[in-house]
Amino acid sequence: MKNTTEYAVYAGKRAKKSDLLPDCLRAFLTGGLICAGAQGMSELFLSLRIAEETVRILVPMILIFLTALLTGLGIFDNLAGFCGAGTLVPITGFANAVVSPALDSKNEGLVLGLGAKLFSVAGPVILYGTSASVVWGVLYWALGQLR
Amino acid sequence: MEGNNRKSGIIRLKRCPSIIGHAAAVGKKEHEGPLGAQFDYHDATDRFGQKTWELSEGEMQHIALNLALAKAKVPADSLGALFAGDLINQCTSSSYGLLDINAPFFGLYGACSTSAEGLILASLWMNSTESGSAAVVTSSHNCSAERQFRFPVEYGGIRTPTSQWTVTGAAAFILGDGQGAYITELMPGKSIDRGITDPNNMGAAMAPAAVDTLTRYFRESGMKPSDFDAIFTGDLGFEGHSIVNEMMCADGINLSDNYLDCGLLIYDREGQDMHAGGSGCGCSASVLSAYILPKLEKGEYHDILFVATGALMSPMLVLQGQSIPGIAHLVRITKERNL
């Protein structure tokens, strides 16, 4: 191992990677469980004759609330360590990405702490998510004009 | 200082300071680990009575230093100098935490190598002044480090197998001329960058620095690893420890069974889900205080090498595509003053 790149290649090769199959399986099962639970709630609310439009807001609100609560209690990060993408991909991941910096920076004040750091993790998702939807909107409109 | 020739880099101390008092304060996970009962103080909330993680870390240093001073029977205001360091920007855990210690203060940054860096500088201080004593304090706190280097504390994500867990711990060492293990030789490390860009593989980033320091030491002292009761690297964890073994072997130096790593000793890696092991300025320091020094004092060890390793990583520079340099400082600690 004489030079820098040779060592980096050697170290990269010997480093154990995350176990993809069990990680995927856990993500599939736990993510599926969260979504099935949300669907169950949705069915329940509909059966209670709550308007569909309200149910569509109510279910994500409950998921966001539960995530915020579990994050605040210091439980969510342990759950996420097990579930991986299972908790990251549903709205739970987004909620945790907003609540955790809020908790972290509250001691630095409401404006320059919490306010400035609130979207430090979720910010890129919002930026590129909305940008992508704008681009897709323009394309959709252009395609419609061609027809 | 004798034998201070430039080629060797080994500094043989004329006045070998002894570690006349030492103490470690740790958090919950460290207390639950295999060395749990040997630490002097722990706080199950990791908060140490403070409101923020940064202040908690400072308080942990304060507790460790006061315990060590009490053991050494040295009043704080008689300390010749105080060398302290941590991982937080501007070294604030040290400077804020030790504000009320009325002693000349040096803030250090050597990432996780700070414990050995401090011991080297304090030993040199003792050799170049008339000071009766000097103190070294280092700390790391998992939550303050997570905030600064990675993600918010409560952010949920999966850690990779090579990632290490920053130790919540602080340790303090009082150097003087009384009873205790002796610091006899020093070898300051060089910062070495071998192109590792993965911030989740610090062990691989630091290993070449440990290999450099150890190889230089053995080559220039003419000693062999088996001449020592044990050789400890700072916090290379599983990955770095294996790399050092492999690279040293390729260099013709067999470290064998007496080569241990503080990052592997502090946690039960499997049981506590610690991936590659522990890291942080508090890791090697608290293991030195709770595990290594007691063995020297009891006579289970007579002669050891303590090589604290640090990854000189900046999250900003990693984002700019730069690789992570490592550093490893060596301190030889013996039971007797004269070898």
pLDDT per position as a tens digit, A43-54? 999 999 999 999
Is the pLDDT score of A1 beyond 70? no
A144 pLDDT more than 70: yes
Give me the domains of chain B, ranges plus CATH numbers: 11-176 (3.40.47.40), 182-334 (3.40.47.40)
Phi/psi of residue A7, nearest 5 degrees: -65, -45
Alpha-carbon dihedral B161, B262, B174, B191, rounded to 10 degrees? -70
Q: What pLDDT was estimated at residue B64?
A: 98
Which chain A residues are closer than 8 Å to B158 by Cβ?
18, 23, 80-81, 84
Question: Could you give the CA distance from residue B107 to residue B91 in angstroms, rounded to a whole number?
Answer: 6
| Residue B26 Cα, gap to closest chain A Cα (Å) | 20
B231 contacts B301 by C-beta, under 8 angstroms: no
Residue B257 confidence (pLDDT): 86
Measured CA to CA, the distance from residue B150 to residue B280 in angstroms comes to: 14
Could you give the percent of chain A with pLDDT greater than 70?
97
What average pLDDT score do residues A2-7 get? 74
B229 touches chain A (CB under 8 A): no
The average pLDDT across A16-29 equals 94
Q: CB contact, 8 Å: A107 with chain B?
A: yes
pLDDT tens profile B48-71: 999 999 999 999 999 999 999 999
**Confidence at residue A3, expressed as pLDDT on a 0 to 100 scale:** 60
ipTM above 0.85, yes or no: yes
For all residues of chain B together, what is the average pLDDT?
94
Express each pLDDT in B146-198 by its tens digit: 999 999 999 988 889 999 999 999 999 999 998 999 999 999 999 999 999 99
Q: Are B56 and B50 in contact (CB under 8 A)?
A: yes
Positive or negative, the CA dihedral A60, A65, A71, A74 is negative
Distance CA B279, CA B266 (A): 9
Question: Cα–Cα distance between B308 and B306 in angstroms, integer?
Answer: 6
Taking every pair of C-alpha atoms in chain A, what is the biggest distance, in angstroms?
A: 72
Residue A14 in contact with partner chain B when CB distance is under 8 A: yes
| CB contacts, 8 Å: B206 with chain A | none
Interface touch A100/B195, C-beta < 8 Å:
no
Rounded distance, CA A108 to CA B108, Å?
Answer: 25
Mean pLDDT by 10 residues, chain B (339 residues): 59 96 97 97 97 97 98 95 96 96 96 97 96 96 95 90 96 95 97 94 96 96 96 95 95 91 95 93 97 97 97 95 97 88
Residue B7: what pLDDT? 58
| A-B Cβ pairs (cutoff 8 Å, strict) | 94
pLDDT value for A31: 97
**What is the mean predicted confidence (pLDDT) over A20-43?**
96
CB B219 within 8 A of CB B227: no
Task: Tell me which chain A residues have a C-beta less than 8 angstroms from the C-beta of B55.
Answer: none
Name the 3-class secondary structure at B30: helix
* A20 shares contact with chain B (CB less than 8 Å): no
Instruction: Kindly report the length of chain B.
Output: 339
Spans of all domains in chain A? 19-146
CA B39 to chain centre: 15
